[in-house]
């Protein structure tokens, strides 16, 4: 039955990222049939965001208005309908969300969601459901005190990592919750449900509280990643009665409900359309890139840069990186590190050294040799996650290890790109990722000059996903996977579900001479990194 239904079916993936809400529609041969997006700053200027967020005066707090995500969903659906997408043939929808961000829903919000009206904008109907108007997002780094407290109460950073997959990180939701419980007890008290961005977006579609999936749930410092259940101690050190506010976590391939009648009426979805658990953007990218073999790694270059891979046995580090439950294989894990100074920092150097032009940036980058004549730069424009450097600043060293004020513009372009990849290579090794091939994705993966540096720094071939939007595509693939599991009545391995999906194209092989240069440079980079002031 599943086979016959599959032929005519479409699968929808949404990606609620930091700066935009995107949609990708695929058919059952994984061909992309439609793509559209809502950019928060441009399309919803009334929320006054920059890059989708509000940065607060303390330099550490970063939030987004939760209602903006609601308004964006209607706008996105309008665009799909106006573009005549065959929404009536969508068999399942799933989604991706920026990780760690939390949405705080007041008592009674569930009933409001249940009763969504097809005739009214979502924004009007839902403006009263938030206990907190401004949702903390992953860029927030204001919870250092809560992190130290968690590590102390749980028996140290390594212990926290052993249980939850990561030591305590400022952006991880458990620490954000601890902060709000402490500083805004009234908000905590009136909150009925704390959702992640991913599970919140799923809730808008089902018209009910959708569960947090185990993969995105691993980014909270609250889930025991081996038992795949909330950890008692981790919850207790956060705040009281937390389990009931979070609900039970669900496997990532689970059906969390059918689409609410509102969307059937207003947008002609089939009332049978399944909603598959939404997950985090990095887990969804892993699905979109079909990373299943150990040491097949991916680098996603977006607002943040992340590097990740599927792994079998988790070996969490009490110093850096993260282990999450794998989003497509309930028995496996994924390892990941996140570098906060990603595209915005590259853009900063582009503006400073290449008159704001990517063409000029690339020309300058290509005019310099691998290894940059020994010049190494650290561009910490935002408090950095990997390695943890809270104090912002730019640090430059020449070939003799002397601190210098500036590089010439061409050296500047190479220093930012090489520095980012050297940091990834160095720190990925420490969480058990030793890449044999890399799939590049995200905005900057269309920049071939940058990809060439990536291949040389890591000394492995680099492939590109034709679809730069791997999180939204991954969400669509997960919609298909979850639907197939539901139709068959048992778990179907993701690799089997994805058979026939298009191959990825190789972009570059490493050049042996460059590779040797970077092997040597990595040690110098590690030494210099120790000299950077961290706080
Ligand atoms: C991962 O841990 C991160 O914090 C970021 O990559 C966000 O998921 C970006 F949305």
> Which tens digit of pLDDT belongs to each residue from 189-200?
999 999 999 999
Looking from the CA of residue 322, the nearest atom of ligand 1 is 2
Which tokens hold the place of 292? 């299943």
DSSP states of 421-482 as a string? HHHHHHHHHHTT---SEEEEESGGGG-HHHHHHHHHHHTS-EEE-SSS-HHHHHHHHHHHHH
Q: Which atom of ligand 1 is nearest to the CA of 97?
A: 10
129-138 tens-digit pLDDT: 999 999 999 9
CA 102, CA 196: separation in Å to the nearest integer?
5
Higher pLDDT, 151 or 467: 151
User: Helices 448-458 and 409-430: crossing angle, nearest 10°?
Assistant: 50
Mean pLDDT of 340-347: 94
pLDDT tens-digit readout, 100-128: 999 999 999 999 999 999 999 999 999 99
For ligand 1, say whether the CB of 413 is within 6 Å of any of its atoms.
no
Distance between Cα 385 and ligand 1 center (Å): 10
Probe residue for ligand 1, chosen from 20, 64, 95, 100 as the CB with the greatest number of ligand atoms within 8 Å:
100
From the alpha carbon of 304, which atom of ligand 1 is closest?
6
**115: phi then psi, degrees, rounded to nearest 5:** -100, 30
CB count, 10 Å around CB of 391?
11
Q: Which comes out higher in pLDDT, residue 534 or 493? A: 493
* Ligand 1 in reach of 304 Cβ (< 6 A): yes
Which stretch of 287-301, 468-482, 484-498 has the lowest confidence by average pLDDT?
287-301
Checking if the pLDDT of 371 tops 60, the result is yes
Distance 391 CA to ligand 1 centre (A): 20
Q: What is the pTM of this model?
A: 0.93
Q: Which two tokens stand for residue 177?
A: 């919750």
Q: What Cα–Cα distance (Å) separates residue 157 from each residue in 163, 170, 282, 377, 389?
A: 10, 13, 23, 29, 17
Segment 268-301, tens digit of pLDDT: 999 999 999 999 999 999 999 999 788 889 999 9
The reported pLDDT for the residue numbered 2 is: 61
For residue 99 and ligand 1, the question of a CB distance below 6 A is answered with: yes
Q: What is the pLDDT of residues 221-265, one digit of tens each?
A: 999 999 999 999 999 999 999 999 999 999 999 999 999 999 999
Peptide bond into 387 cis (omega under 30): yes
The CA-based angle 322-326-327, given to 5 degrees, is 120
SS3 sequence of 374-394: HCEEEEECCCECCCCECCCEE
pLDDT in tens, 405-453: 999 999 999 999 999 999 999 999 888 898 999 999 988 999 999 999 9
Q: Which residue has the tokens 């390892």?
A: 335
Q: Is the pLDDT of residue 1 over 70?
A: no
**What pLDDT is stored for residue 467 in this prediction?**
79
Cis peptide before 55 (omega within 30 of 0): no
pLDDT the model gives residue 468: 75
Q: Which domains does the chain have, with CATH numbers?
A: 2-284 (3.30.420.40), 290-464+503-535 (3.30.420.40)
Q: Which residue has the higher pLDDT, 330 or 368?
A: 368
């Amino acid at each position: 039955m599943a086979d016959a239904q599959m032929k005519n079916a479409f699968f929808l993936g949404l990606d609620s990222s930091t700066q935009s809400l995107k949609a990708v529609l695929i058919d059952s041969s994984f061909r992309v049939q439609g793509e559209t997006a809502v950019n928060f700053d441009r399309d919803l200027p009334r929320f006054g965001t920059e890059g989708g967020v509000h940065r607060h005066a303390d330099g550490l707090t970063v939030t987004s208005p939760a209602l903006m995500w609601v308004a964006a969903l209607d706008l996105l659906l309008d665009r799909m309908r106006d573009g005549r997408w065959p929404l009536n043939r969508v068999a399942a929808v799933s989604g991706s969300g920026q990780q760690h961000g939390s949405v705080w829903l007041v008592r009674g919000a569930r009933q409001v969601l249940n009763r969504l009206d097809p005739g009214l904008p979502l924004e009007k109907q839902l403006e009263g459901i938030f206990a907190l108007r401004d949702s903390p997002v992953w860029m927030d780094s204001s919870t250092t005190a809560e992190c130290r407290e968690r590590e102390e109460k749980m028996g140290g950073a390594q212990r926290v990592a052993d249980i939850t997959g990561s030591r305590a990180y400022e952006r991880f939701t458990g620490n954000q919750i601890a902060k709000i419980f402490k500083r805004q007890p009234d908000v905590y008290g009136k909150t009925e449900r704390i959702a992640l961005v991913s599970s919140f977006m799923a809730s808008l579609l089902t018209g009910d509280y959708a569960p947090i999936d185990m993969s995105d749930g691993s980014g909270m410092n609250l889930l025991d990643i081996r038992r795949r259940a909330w950890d008692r101690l981790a919850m207790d050190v956060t705040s009281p009665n937390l389990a009931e506010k979070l609900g039970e976590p669900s496997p990532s391939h689970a059906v969390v409900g059918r689409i609410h009648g509102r969307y059937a009426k207003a947008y002609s979805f089939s009332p049978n359309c399944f909603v598959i658990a939404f997950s985090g953007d990095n887990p969804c990218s892993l699905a979109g890139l079909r990373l299943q073999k150990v040491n097949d790694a991916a680098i996603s270059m977006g607002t943040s840069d992340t590097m990740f891979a599927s792994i079998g046995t988790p070996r969490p580090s009490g110093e850096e990186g993260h282990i999450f439950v794998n989003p497509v294989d309930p028995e496996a894990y994924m390892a990941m590190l996140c570098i906060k100074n990603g595209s915005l920092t590259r853009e900063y150097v582009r503006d400073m050294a290449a008159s704001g032009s990517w063409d000029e940036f690339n020309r300058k980058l290509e005019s310099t040799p691998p290894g940059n004549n020994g010049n190494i730069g650290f561009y910490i424009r935002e408090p950095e996650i990997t390695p943890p450097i809270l104090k912002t600043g730019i640090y430059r060293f020449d070939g003799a290890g002397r601190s210098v004020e500036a590089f010439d513009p061409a050296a500047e372009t190479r220093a930012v790109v090489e520095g980012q990849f050297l940091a990834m290579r160095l720190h990925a090794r420490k969480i058990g990722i030793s890449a044999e091939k890399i799939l590049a994705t995200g905005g900057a993966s269309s920049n071939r000059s940058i990809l060439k540096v990536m291949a040389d720094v890591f000394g492995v071939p680099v492939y590109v996903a034709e679809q730069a939007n791997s999180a939204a595509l991954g969400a669509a693939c997960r919609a298909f996977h979850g639907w197939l599991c539901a139709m068959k009545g048992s778990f179907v391995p993701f690799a089997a579900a994805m058979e026939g999906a298009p191959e990825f194209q190789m972009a570059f092989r490493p050049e042996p001479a460059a590779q040797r240069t970077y092997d040597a440079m990595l040690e110098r980079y590690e030494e210099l990194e120790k000299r950077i002031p961290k706080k």
